[in-house]
Chains A and B, each alone.
Chain A
Amino acid sequence: MTATVAPTVGPGRVPEPLPELIGQLEQTWRDEPGILGWIKSVDHKSIALRYMITAFVFFLLAGLQALGMRAQLARPENTLLGPDLYNQFFTVHGTTMMFLFAVPVMQAVGLYFVPMMVGTRNVAFPKLNAYGYWTYLFGGLFIYAEWWFLNSGPDVGWFSYVPLANSVFTPGKRADVWAQGVTFTEIASLAAAVEIIVTVFKLRAPGMTLNRLPLFVWAMVVQSFMVLFAMPWVATATQFLAWERLVSTHFFDPTRGGDPLLWQHLFWFFGHPEVYIIFVPALGMVSSVVTAFTRRHVFGYPAMVLSLISTGVLGFGLWVHHMFATGIPQLSESFFTAASMVIAIPTGVQIFCWIATIWDGRPRFTVPFLWVIGFVVVFIIGGFSGVMVASVPFDRQVHDSYFIVAHFHYVLIGGAVFPLLGAFYYWFPKVTGRMLGERLGRWQFWLFFIGMNLTFFPMHQLGFEGMPRRVYTYLPETGWGPLNLLASIGAATLAVSVILLIVNVWSSLRRGLPAGDNPWDADTLEWATTSPPRPYNFALIPVVDGRGPVWRHPEGLPVFGGLRTDVRDVLLTTLLDAEPDSRHRHPVPTIWPLHAAIATTITFVSLIYTPWGAVVGFPLLFIAFVGWAWPRGRDHREQQVIEAERPVEVAS
């Protein structure tokens, strides 16, 4: 049953084995038919695609909230949204964008492409992957259901500062919904982080040594480690807050020996890395797009990798710059000023390396490449204002003003959404097998570019003019009206651009040009297979002998034989040099991750309303995880990890 190489080799592709083996691979790896089969899927591509679509829906919802806010602020003393609604709008907008859109969508792109880029058949821990998705989905639905049906939309900001968020100043369930809703997404992102790290460290194709990893994969590894270190802090913080509200602990209560600043330290020790958790994968996307459209490997690979890693490390040393106005000692402020400025260096290095790559290469001005140019042009404005607010006295002037709103939207839209949209145009053909419309794409880009700058650039000035963040209205006499109106017009432009994107996707799915395997002539392994990829990704596992394997082997990639086609075999390789190590049997579709996610949801949601939630929830969780881990008959007997002691023959 072991696959052997057949003579059918396409350009830059993984060769195909005999048709009957292909049929068997298909049979082995595909999802079960029907809705139940869809629910039971553990295929990283199906799940990542759901992640992306869900994240995009949350992006649209958060965008609608942004439009609501911009409509409210378009003129002074507007009464479209009262303070109660407005405060829910900006809280849910921030929470959705950070927890339900930006982090999940970056991880989703990673979950889709990392296994393909490292040349394997699935992500490590596929059941955990399914569980992560369901948990994320239910967490998001929970927040919105509470908001729309129970009038319990969180309204104390995406940062939920205590004491405002405690039960004295925010009675009711709104802050609980926030705390618990965030906990859901923490679980999902921790799961995805673990999967990506193990996939990269253990499932790489033979020969893909660490120094041959595509930069996007490096970025995902760095991001995943950041998630591992950052998420436990916010989990701690949100649990403390939940207990404070539910059972009257006093972690943050100054009258009983607690301190509100403890919350801020815990939250920002997560919250600042969070920005880089969103930004670092985007850097990887930029590298992918730059490589493909200049037909050059990104200049200075070691510098790029070290920059990613140092960004990941330094990202944990900046959190106090969110607290410069709290009156902490000057010495510690100076340390965090220095750290906040230093982190500009690795980002600078990467931008310089991309410019060098573009200079050296032969750029093709496709839509994805346009987004990369736009990324640099927009993002560095946010970078500069970031360096400015690293300076304590200057930050204390503009902190919590609209200057900051401008700054972080330049960073997050410029630094993450632009690359993400570039990556979307770049990888859409791989995922769907069809090209996105170029003409509509250009329109969308320019509308987005103009709308983005129109919305956020005037906010710098509003900040100087003293307009604080999170105000639901302002007096006409402040003179903030005209610039706010301009910003609102910009927001409408952005909305038109997003509608064009949806139209483009809709029409391209129906009538788009067929993409072929590698429409951009790109270099990484995901382009060495069909578009859309088959459930098993690669008919035969490719063997990698350098960076950019597809370019190195225009005649067809060398491959590795020895995996069974009648069971879900994946190849494990060694950590540093990716030498074949052993085979591992991957799980078949299962319903248990969904059960576990439902049990998790019941536990978390009921805990908001009564401590008895734990009594109901934990047995359910226990059952779900026992079912998850229960050995399954024949399947299980066959499951064995075979140590590959003999040298593995590499077919080429």
Chain B
Amino acid sequence: MTLLLQQALQFPGRLSALAPTGPEAILIRDWLWRPMYATALVTYVLVVGALLWAAFRRRSAPAEEGAPEGPKRRLGLGVGIATAVTTVVLFVFLVATMQVSRATTTGPGPNPIRIRVTGHQWWWEVEYRDARQDQWFTTANELHLPVGRPAELELVSPDVIHSFWAPNIHTKLDLIPGHENLMRFQADSAGVFRGQCAEFCGAQHGKMAFQVVAQPPDSFAAWESRQRQPAPEPADSLARRGRDVFMGGSCPLCHTVQGTGAGGRLGPDLTHLAGRRTIAAGTLPNTRGALAGWIVNPQGVKPGAKMPPNPLSPDDLQAILAYLETLK
């Protein structure tokens, strides 16, 4: 119960580029944003101050009237100095940019967690690719990381361009059909962070979010080993009936449940659905009610989504929900 409450409180996850926890996001805030912001603030005050002073300064007698050429040398000096200062400041920014750029695009180092993130219209497929292929597993819209250990993300897309962005941890990088982009990805403190697709990708671009769950190494290891298990055989009869409804309906055409006959690849892998924090790509908390609403009428939540409505009878719906809840 407390866990549920905690989860509800952390939905939809922390979200800010100015409260970073990934090394790259920290570098950018501290070495680019803060100095540039301070410089901009000072420069702004200076320029607007100069403008207002120039406009409102007290002027001597109207002797200058009719003499369109003024005190050129002093003005020239002023313009020259301002230009020179501008140039120097920009040069400093350029050097800082190159330094931070290099520091934020390093490789992941030895032994990273390899994760392949695939952008789909409009959800994220997340595949953990261990060195041994039989240890691979797939989840959706949720990226678990052990705190302090880098991952290497392979970002790909089979349909349109998406962009992967969790501002607390790192900058964004596009997922482009025909390209594979790599990104070092590391969270330095535990917590749930929100991310969202940042490249316009069609009707439901606005509801294509995900969560990054950064957890202590041992709890990550526990999560990881659970994810590698196939779905358990449902214990009670309602859940068993639910499985039959699931398998007998159109669900397996799009969804996979490891350890069963359901092997569709168009929608998210549901093997451990009940262990996830959100459904519909970070749009709804993973509660029974939300799940029921989503199954019956996904178009009400995400108009244009690829999942069709499922007009189930109340009994079938309850059975399916019971079954899905066993997929921990």
Contact = CB atoms under 8 A, between A and B. Distances in A.
A396 B171 contact: yes
Interface string A70-98: 00000000000011100100000000000
B134 interface: no
A394 B36 contact: yes
A84 B93 CA distance: 41
B316 to A, nearest CB: 29
B51 A377 contact: yes
Given A169-B202, A260-B161, A397-B17, A326 B176 contact: yes
Interface string B188-202: 000000111111111
B97 A391 contact: yes
Contact of A327 (B159, B160, B179): B179
Q: Which of A334, A373, A391 has the most CB of B within 10 A?
A: A391
Nearest to A365: B55
A391 B96 contact: yes
Interface string A329-367: 010011001100110110011011101101111110100
Given A356-B78, A387-B93, A392-B101, A325 B172 contact: yes
A146 interface: no
Contacts of B202: 87, 156, 164, 169
A401 interface: yes
A466 B75 contact: no
A164 B200 CA distance: 9
B79 A353 contact: yes
Interface residues of B, number: 88
B274 interface: no
Interface string B201-219: 1111111000000000000
Contacts of A458: none
A478 B187 CA distance: 20
A380 interface: yes
B48 A376 contact: yes
Contacts of A300: 75-76, 79
A472 B206 contact: yes
B54 interface: yes
A551 interface: yes
B287 interface: no
**A156, A303, A355, A464 interface centre (most CB from chain B within 10 Å):** A355
B90 A387 contact: yes
B279 interface: no
Contact of A384 (B28, B40, B94, B283): B40
A399 interface: yes
B98 interface: yes
B59 interface: yes
A237 interface: no
Given A169-B160, A397-B172, A83 B79 contact: no
A172 interface: no
A327 B65 contact: no
A391 B93 contact: yes
A388 B36 contact: yes
Interface string B25-62: 10110001100100010011001101111110101001
A352 B82 contact: yes
A261 interface: yes
Interface stretch (A291-299, A620-628, A633-641): A291-299
- Choose among A156, A396, A471 the residue with the greatest number of B CB atoms under 10 Å from its CB: A396
Given A358-B54, A376-B48, A477 B11 contact: yes
Interface in A443-483: 463-466, 468-475, 477-479
Contacts of B167: 397, 401, 464-466
Given A356-B75, A391-B96, A391-B97, A396 B65 contact: no
B249 interface: no
Contacts of B250: none
The interface centre, meaning the residue of A377, A381, A398 with most chain B CB atoms within 10 A of its CB, is A398
Contacts of A341: 90, 93-94
Given A164-B161, A334-B101, A391 B78 contact: no
Interface string A395-414: 01111110000000000000
B283 A393 contact: no
Most buried by B among A255, A259, A377, A471: A471
A541 B51 CA distance: 38
B70 interface: yes
B201 A83 contact: no
B297 interface: no
Contact of B160 (A163, A351, A463, A469): A163
A59 to B, nearest CB: 24
Contacts of A140: none
A518 to B, nearest CB: 16
B71 A381 contact: no
B86 interface: yes
A437 interface: no
A83 B204 contact: yes
Given A359-B54, A362-B65, A478 B12 contact: yes
A349 B179 contact: no
Contacts of B47: 351, 355, 376, 380
A259 to B, nearest CB: 6
A468 B65 contact: no
Range of interface residues on chain A?
Answer: 35 or more
Contacts of B102: 330
B33 A394 contact: yes
B90 A393 contact: no
Contacts of B204: 83
Nearest to A170: B202
Given A356-B78, A401-B198, A468-B165, A164 B160 contact: yes
Contact of A469 (B28, B78, B104, B200): B200
Contacts of B90: 341-342, 344-345, 387
Interface string A497-524: 0000000000000000000000000000
Contacts of B57: 359
A462 B73 CA distance: 45
Contacts of A472: 205-206
B165 A337 contact: no
Nearest to A361: B70
B171 A325 contact: yes
A337 B94 contact: yes
Contacts of B54: 355-356, 358-359
A341 B18 CA distance: 23
A392 B102 CA distance: 10
Interface string B153-193: 00100011101010100011110111101100000000000
Given A254-B177, A296-B68, A356-B75, A393 B28 contact: yes
Contacts of A169: 121, 159-160, 202
B79 A299 contact: yes
A466 B203 CA distance: 19
Given A358-B55, A388-B36, A394-B28, A470 B181 contact: no
B100 interface: yes
22 contacts: A84-B303, A157-B200, A254-B179, A261-B179, A297-B68, A299-B70, A299-B72, A352-B78, A353-B79, A359-B75, A360-B75, A381-B44, A384-B36, A391-B96, A393-B32, A397-B33, A400-B198, A401-B165, A401-B167, A466-B195, A478-B12, A551-B68
Interface of A: 82-84, 87, 156-157, 161, 163-164, 169, 254-255, 258-261, 295-297, 299-300, 303, 325-327, 330, 333-334, 337-338, 341-342, 344-345, 348-349, 351-353, 355-356, 358-363, 365, 373, 376-377, 380-381, 384-385, 387-388, 390-394, 396-401, 463-466, 468-475, 477-479, 548, 551
Given A337-B94, A399-B171, 18 more contacts: A156-B200, A254-B177, A254-B178, A260-B177, A297-B68, A297-B69, A325-B174, A326-B176, A355-B47, A360-B64, A362-B62, A396-B171, A400-B163, A400-B198, A468-B165, A471-B207, A472-B206, A479-B15
- Of all A-B residue pairs in the complex, the 8 with the closest CB atoms, nearest first, are A254-B178, A396-B171, A471-B206, A359-B54, A360-B70, A327-B181, A384-B40, A356-B75
